[in-house]
Structure 1
Amino acid sequence: MIAEAGHYALILALALALIQSTVPVAGAKLRDVALMNVARSTAMAQFMFAGLSFLALTTLYVTSDFSVANVFQNSHSAKPLLYKITGVWGNHEGSMLLWVAILAFFGALVASFGNNLPLSLRALVLAVQGWIAAAFYLFILATSNPFTRMAQAPLEGRDLNPVLQDIGLAVHPPMLYLGYVGFSVAFSFAVAALIEGRIDAAWARWVRPWTLVAWIFLTLGIAMGSYWAYYELGWGGWWFWDPVENASLMPWLSGTALLHSAIVMEKRNALKVWTILLAILTFSLSLLGTFLVRSGVLTSVHAFATDPSRGVFILVILCLFIGGSLTLYLWRASSLKQGGLFAPISREGALVLNNLFLTTACATVFVGTLYPLALEMLTGDKISVGAPFFNLTFGPLFVPLLIAVPFGPMLAWKRGDIRGVAQRLLAAGVAALLTIAMVWAWTTGGAALAPLAIGLAVFVVLGAIIDIAERIMLFRLPLAVSLRRAVGLPRAAWGTAFAHAGLGIALIGIVCETTWNTEYIGTLKPNDVAKLAGYELTLKEVTQRQGPNFRESIARFRITRGGDEIGEMVPSKRNFSARQMATTEAALLSRGASQLYISLGDDTTDGAVAVRMYHKPLVLMIWWGPVLMALGGVFSLSDRRLRVGAPKPAKASRALQAAE
């Protein structure tokens, strides 16, 4: 009964989405207030039914109802409760239901908090959200119904992919989807503004918080996915340039450019055409990521779908929304007024430069990701585009971008003084040069450019600190006055500083881990000692343990350095009988920002166990950086100017609109 109720709720959500996608458009055309207000009520009701449908599927997983094919294929009665819940989105059908539930959630948020929007704009934004939702409801009901019953209920399920039975799965996909789907709001605002033919600074003020929310969640989702792959897959890497990883990176790059472009549009009423295009492209890249993962064109731990009909359906959705929105853009863009002018050396100019490098980097990832797929489709030849291509194309684009990052916030609007900013950043430049010299002197081996990259990262971090110091006039006013100025600074200024500093911190971690990572691969017996980066790792014992739905082989290592015991590391290897699969549970020991990493391989015939050990210097900074960037986004989102939003129209203006 629960499955049928969930299915029926999904059908009702589709019906509401169809109403939401048509009636408000007619209302906006006829200037009928009642019809335009239909968008708000249907968006709220649609979210309620989508939420009920998702809750129904979750209940089926928790109660292990194996009469439902989706539950049978992806769950097991002995699985821990946490993984029963997270298993809901650990498969194609469930993950698509989560996708549309989050889409409905964002639509309900716009309906709830969009009271300061012009009524016609809100109606059109929610109508576009309804178009997207209706397309994906149809996709789920036609090709990916998660509530399909089996003719005869099995006694036990097949279990979830063991690799996905991890706490990281409870966090990574929902955050990633909140980012992907969150950009649909910016897309809807862009399409609605193009339909109305009215785009101004107020539009940028309205769209920026929604873009910021999506960017925060996508940043955290990518970071969480990277860390999950690092400790769960047992290979010791944190980024592989996998096409599915790239599918999340592309909208992040485009979304970052959109955020900066929206700032220029809000402050200077400029870059209108470019901002609208970025809003369309960012969500289009999110849809492209959905296609890559769900179509079956890729084989990956992320990719669930293998049915070609699903790929064709999503491809049609992709063509309709991307092609339709770009066609509308081409039709309307020429009629948009560009707004304020500015000098090349200005804050606007710095943000344009930022956009140029970000979008070019996004384009290189796009080409590197899709070219092998296109070539295979056209010629049948299979090629692999891996890390060397991306490192040689993506990396150099970020060098000038990072050099420019500290300058941007310190330049004035409209016309800036590059010499004055350079003088204020002189201390950061000197510190960066000293860092390069010290790293060069203290390290041996590794890439010759690594010290330069670390120096550049230090320049970015110190540039963010100097920006705040200049704003509060540190050391030029009494300390108490500077502290009061710091408290009174707009939170967006703190957010910018945190985000830029997080970028530098992540770069330090990336360079140190990739350049000075040390490795030990071999076999050990109990009481054998492996030496790694000054540490002694002694295998004490290997034991067996029965888990709830797996058999586990556990190794215990004593870690010492210079004769002093530091701690114990316990890696393991799990065998899941239901799926006939094994997973590696790596052991991590943090020493400051650095880590020791141990993963187990297979046992040998002579009683030894294969091990893979790493010492990863400053590796944690790779993820501290994105967390700091997301924190900066939260600070910016809490800025009163964004919370207040654009001012409501004056009474006279509202009366004029009503008369029209």
Structure 2
Amino acid sequence: MSVEAGHFALVLAFALALIQSTVPLLGTRWNDRRMMAASGPVAITGFVLTLIAFAALTLAYAQSDFSLQNVYENSHSLKPMIFKLSGVWGNHEGSMLLWVLILTLFGAAVAAFGENLPPSLKANVLAVQGMIGAAFFLFILVTSNPFARLDPAPIEGQDLNPVLQDIGLAIHPPLLYLGYVGFSVCFSFAVAALIEGRIDAAWARWVRPWTLAAWVFLTGGIAMGSYWAYYELGWGGFWFWDPVENASFMPWLAGTALLHSALVMEKRSALKVWTILLAILTFSLSLLGTFLVRSGVLTSVHAFATDPTRGVFILGILSVFVGGSLALFAFRASALTTGGLFHPISREGSLVLNNLFLTTATATVLIGTLYPLALEAVTGTKISVGAPFFNLTFGLIIFPLLLLVPFGTMLAWKRGDALAAAQRLLGAAALALGAMLVTGLVSEPRSIFAVVGIGIGVWLLAGVATDLALRAGLPRAGFGTALHRVAGLPRSAIGTMLAHAGLGVTVLGLVGALAFGREAVVAVKPGEQVAVGAYTMRFEGLSSEPGPNFSSRIARFSLLDAAGSPHATIASAKRFYPVRRMPTTEAGIRTMWLGQLYVSIGEERADGALVVHAWWKPLVTLIWGGALLMMAGGTLSLLDRRLRVGAPSRRARPVAAPVPAE
């Protein structure tokens, strides 16, 4: 019965999305406040109904209700409960239901927290959200119904893809979707502003918190996905430039540009065209990622669906919303005023340059991702555009951007002094050059990439430290005064520093893992040793252990100290899932300071030896530590009291009480 209730709730949510997409829009057209006001309750009710549908599907997974086709194809009664629940979004139909749940959640959030928005703008924003929701509700109901029944009901399910049965995949998709779908609010604000024909600094103030929230979630989703691929797939890497990885990376790059552009628009009422266009393109890239994952044009461990019918449907949605919004933008662009003027050497100028680099990098990744698909579609020729292309082209674009990041924070608004900014950064430059010199002298093997990469990472961190010191008044101010000044800084300023510091930390992690890592591939028997980098492990042997829905062969290694005595153990395993008839590799990882010793096992040879692939990856934990710092910076900025979801409410001025006549 709960399944039918969930299905019915989904149909009702679709009906409400149709109402939400039309009634408020007509209300703004006819200046009918009651019709505009209906958008809020409808959006909240639509979220509640979608939540009921999602809860019904989750309950079916928890109860192993194999009369539901979706549960039968993606679950098993012996699967641990955490993976039964994460299996809800470990498939195409369930993940799309999560997609629309998050979409309606953001719509309800705008309705609930946008009380200070102008009624017409709020109505138009929620109407655009309703249009997006209606399109995807229709897609689910027509092509991807998660509530389809099986009759007769099977006794047992087919289990979930084993590589998805991991805590990382329980966290990664929800975070990623919160980022992907969160940018829909920015898109809706942009389209609503174009409909009204009024775009100003207040609009930028309203849209920036939503951009920040989506950016923080997408950062977390990408980082979690990277770490999952690193430890679960057993290949020792953290980024493959897989087209589906790129599909999430492109909105992140565009969203980063949107954040900076909205800041200029808020401060100086400039870059209106930039900001509106970036808001449209960022969500458009999110829709493109949805298409790539679900259209069947890609074969990837990340891809959910291979049904071309679904791909055509999503392509239609993509064409309507991207094409329609860009057409509206082209129609309104000539009416957009330029806003505040500024000198090229200024904070605004640096942010424009930042956006040029970021959008160029996004275009590079987009071309490298889509060109092979387009070539195959037109000529039938299959080519592969892999890491060498992306590393070279993307690296050449990002390198100058990273060099310029510390300068931006040193320049004044409207008109800056480049020479004064350079003088303030002399200490940071000296630290960076010193780090490059030390790296070149002591690192083995020596490489330009390592020297320059370490220098860039230190430059970014030293630039943040310089900015903080200047704001605190150091070295002239005393420690107590400096601490008081830092405590009084706006949260958005501290958040920006944390985000830039996180970027520097991530750069150091990337360089450390790629330039200084060591690798060994050997075949060993029990008692024999494996040397990788400065570390030595002794293979102790293999053992078999049963799991809840798998069997595993576990290889144990003792980590030896300088005297040859064991002081720690590392275990790596091969698992076999009998229902799916699929093996997986569980890497053994031991973190030591900022680096990790990583062990993956292969097949057992006929002579009893085991193939072992081991890596030493110095500084690798900084990759994800930097992402956490960026998320913390974005969250802190989001908590800044100056960033409101709506405009500050206008309070009536207090009126003095009349003086009684004597």
What residue ranges of structure 2 are gaps of 5+ in the alignment? 654-662
Offset, 1:2 = 1.7
Give the distance between the partners of 1:329 and 1:448, measured in 2 at CA. Answer: 45
Matching residue of 1:576: 577
Partner of 1:179: 179
Distance apart, 1:136 and its partner CA = 0.2
The aligned residue for residue 96 of structure 1 is 96
Q: Which amino acid aligns with 1:634?
A: T
Of stretches 19-28 and 477-486 in structure 1, the one that deviates more from structure 2 is: 477-486
CA contact (8 A) 1:534 1:561 kept: no
The code of the aligned residue for 2:610 comes to V
Q: Retained in 2: the 8 A contact 1:474–1:482?
A: yes
- Measure how far apart 1:446 and its partner are: 4.9
Q: Provide the identity percentage.
A: 62
Cα 1:644–1:301 change in 2 (3 A) is closer
Deviates more, 1:171-180 or 1:520-529: 520-529
Distance (whole Å) between structure 1 residues aligned to residue 652 and residue 641 of structure 2: 23
Kindly report which structure 2 residues correspond to 1:5-154, keeping only aligned pairs within 5 A, or say none: 5-154=5-154
1:651 Cα deviation after fit: 7.0
2: CA distance, partners of 1:420 / 1:31: 53
SS in 2 for 1:570: strand
- 1:46-74 per-residue CA deviation (whole Å, 9 max, x = no partner) reads 00000010000000000000011110000
Q: CA offsets per residue over residues 451-481 of structure 1, 9 Å max, x none? A: 1121011011110111011011022111111
* Structure 2 partner of 1:597: 598
Name the SS of the counterpart of 2:38 in structure 1: helix
Q: Provide the rounded CA distance (Å) in 2 between the counterparts of 1:17 and 1:552.
A: 48
Mean CA deviation greater in 192-201 or 415-424? 415-424
C-alpha contact 2:113 2:645 (8 A) present in aligned 1 = no
Poorly superposed stretches of 4+, deviation over 4 Å: 649-652
Counterpart CA distance in 1 for 2:294 and 2:56 is 23
Paired with 1:644 and 1:112, the residues of 2 have a C-alpha distance of 10
* Per-residue Cα deviation, 1:332-362 (whole angstroms, up to 9, x for no partner): 0110111100000000000000000000000
Equivalent runs, 1:484-563 vs 2, <5 Å: 484-563=484-563
2:209–2:645 CA contact under 8 A, matched in 1: no
Deviates more, 1:640-649 or 1:276-285: 640-649
**CA drift at 1:409:** 1.3
Match of 1:611 in 2: 612
Aligned residue number for residue 326 of structure 2: 326
* AA at the equivalent of 1:625: G
User: Shift in Å at residue 5 of structure 1?
Assistant: 1.0
Give the RMSD, CA atoms, in angstroms.
Answer: 1.1
SS in 1 for 2:448: coil
User: Relative to 1, partners in 2 of residues 1:301 and 1:103: Cα closer, same or farther, differing over 3 Å?
Assistant: same
Task: Give the deviation of 1:105 after TM superposition.
Answer: 0.3
Measured in 1, the distance between the counterparts of 2:646 and 2:570 equals 51
Query: Corresponding residue for 2:634?
Result: 633
Shift, 1:649, TM fit: 5.4
CA contact (8 A) 1:446 1:516 kept: no
Q: State the distance in 2 between where 1:283 and 1:486 align.
A: 36
Contact 1:526 1:539 in 2 (8 A): yes
- State the one-letter code of the partner of 1:183: F
Aligned AA (1:600): I
Equivalent position of 2:659 in the other structure: none
Output the TM-score relative to the length of structure 2.
Answer: 0.97
CA deviations over 1:573-594 (Å, ceiling 9, x no partner): 1000000000011011111110
Q: Which residue of 2 aligns with 1:656?
A: none
Aligned to 1:261: 261
| 1:14-35 CA-partner distances (Å, limit 9, x unpaired) | 0000000000001011111100
Deviations 1:262-310 (A, max 9, x none): 0000000000011000000000000000000011110011111111110
Partner of residue 657, structure 2: none
Q: Does 1:585 align with 2:586?
A: yes
Q: In 2, Cα distance between the equivalents of 1:275 and 1:448?
A: 37
1:622 aligned partner: 623
Matched residues in 2 for 1:134 and 1:352: separation?
A: 36
Structure 1 residue 608: Cα displacement: 2.0
Equivalent in the alignment of 1:471: 471
**2:61 corresponds to which letter in structure 1?**
Y
For the Cα contact (< 8 Å) 1:229–1:238, is it kept in 2? yes
Q: How far apart are the structure 2 equivalents of 1:202 and 1:478?
A: 38
Alpha-carbon distance in structure 1 between the residues aligned to 2:268 and 2:652: 25
**Matched residue, 1:481:** 481
Shift of 1:449: 2.8
Determine the structure 2 residue equivalent to 1:247.
Answer: 247
CA contact (8 A) 1:117 1:648 kept: no
> Letter of the aligned partner of 2:577 in structure 1?
F
Q: How does 1:425-440 map to 2 (within 5 A)?
A: 425-440=425-440
- Number of aligned residues: 652
Amino acid at match of 1:574: R
Q: Which amino acid in structure 2 is aligned with residue 282 of structure 1? A: T
